[in-house]
Every structure is written in C-alpha cells, then in structure tokens.
Amino acid sequence: MQNANSELIEAARKKFSKFRDLRAQYGEKQAWETMLEGFPELQKERMGPLLAMPTLIEGFRLSIPIFKTIGMEMEAVDISNRDIDAALEIQKVCPFLEVCREFGLDIPCHVICELDMDATRRAFPEMKGEILCRQALGSPVCVFKYERPAKQEAETAL
C-alpha cells in the first residue's frame, strides 16, 4: 500500500507542478482548461462502470476498496430522496495536504478536488457534484455530494 500511496503523491506533484507552470505562463483560466484536456474522458473511463450501477451508492461502495489501495479511507452514505439518486463520499485522509505546499499552494483542493469535480461534471452532464467540506479548511473530513435523477424502475429492472 505504501508504494501505491507514493505513486499517488508523485502523480499529485506532477499535477501541481504542471498547474503552477501553466498558470504562470497563461493565467488561471487557460491553465484550468489545459489541465482539463482529456480529463473528462479519463473520468468517464474510470467512473463509468461504477456510475452504471442502478444507484450511486452501489457504485460508491464498490470504490471504497479502490481508495483503500492508495492509502485513503472512504465512507459512502446514501442520501437519495425525492426522485434524486444521491450519495456522499466522505474521505477521512487527504494525502495531498502537505505536498501542495511544495508548489506554493495553501490548499490542494483547487488543483485536485475541484479539477476532478469539473471533469466529472463534464463527463457526466446528468450528475451534479459539490464539495461540502474540506480538511484543508479545517474540517475533520472531506465530503463530496453527488446527485442525479433517480433511474426509473423499468430502467433498473433491465
């Protein structure tokens, strides 16, 4: 598991470095769009099989062991209600808090979580995503809310 965590941190370092360089060269907006190039397609590839489950909570629960292999501790809570399929992703460990400071960033959220959320929205336009709280801002956990229209019974029976 330590090796997977090291790979995760190294990938984050590359992401922070690339964003810092792009922002210095082109400004915030162009850096953001450049970082997103190809990312929604990658999110669709990564998350698509999990989101194809009849409910979000089923897919999120399947992702818990995946996060565990990279040293993160996740819980998922079903908050579906009123024809909305919804789940909370609760991350108890943020491996990016320290490494972002190497690149002059106070918090990793913009380059890691907000970028992931934007790529997810672009990959799955029917989904809404929101970051509810962040460890980087003093919360004990990071909480992400995802929602989409609930699948109709006929669709889930197929």
Angle between helices 56-69 and 39-51 (to 10 degrees): 120
The model's pLDDT over 11-62, given as tens digits with 9 standing for 90+, comes to 999 999 999 999 999 999 999 999 999 999 999 999 999 999 999 999 999 9
pLDDT digits (tens, 9 = 90+) for 53-108: 999 999 999 999 988 988 889 999 999 999 999 999 999 999 898 888 888 888 99
Please state the φ and ψ torsions of residue 132, each to the nearest 5 degrees: -90, -35
Host domain of residue 90: 2-157
Tell me, yes or no, if the pTM score tops 0.75. Answer: yes
The CATH number of residue 85's host domain is: 3.30.1380.20
Backbone angles phi, psi at 144, to 5 degrees: -115, 130
Domain total for the chain?
Answer: 1
Distance of alpha carbon 127 from alpha carbon 86, whole angstroms? 9
**Strand 128-133 versus strand 74-78 pairing type:** unpaired
Q: Max CA-CA distance within the chain?
A: 52
Tokens encoding 17 = 């470095």
- Are the C-beta atoms of residues 86 and 76 closer than 8 Å to each other? no
What does the block give as tokens for 11?
Answer: 């990938």
